[in-house]
Structure 1
Amino acid sequence: MVTVVVIDLDESLSVEMTIGVSKPCRYTVIYEGEEVVQYETSADPRTAGGRVGLRNIICRHMADYDKVMVNEQLSTEISEHVEAVANEFGPK
């Protein structure tokens, strides 16, 4: 069974996080219930580099979203889901 950690950036935009197949982390960006982009990376979302990479992917595909707002929301939501993220990706 695949565990998925879902973080909501607003009422329309969310990110699903799970273990990747070829790389440690898989992120799926969802906008209004539709998958926008899915990618795998070695960048852990709990690190600054992981959040910046995820923010950049979101803003590249969702041009109406502000990088500062997305970055703040990612930081807040990941910290609020720290236990679920740790359960999925292991210790930081």
Structure 2
Amino acid sequence: MENRKAHRVVFGRGFSANMMAIDGTWQRPCTMQDASDTGARLTVDGSIEGLALKEFFLVLSTMGKAYRRCQLAWVNGDQIGVSFIKSIDKKKKS
């Protein structure tokens, strides 16, 4: 039974992307297998051992203009699940 809160879009061949540390100290190529409004499933190229995955960027474009801030949700071999971190709500107009 499906327990996800949001509908997922599955990419047949995957979508090439990069994971990058918030401070830019590390980067890993990955393939986004599926995504929703709340998170994604990634296949990581290379080891994730020793990487600070509490919070990182998922860079979706080669120019770095399309990205999502993420946190690690789960690990299963070379695949990881990430939750997208929502930006802080903008102040309400008075």
Q: TM-score, normalised by structure 1?
A: 0.31
User: Highest Rg: 1 or 2?
Assistant: 2
Greater strand proportion: 2
The structure in which a higher percent of residues are helix is 1
Q: TM (normalized to structure 2)?
A: 0.30
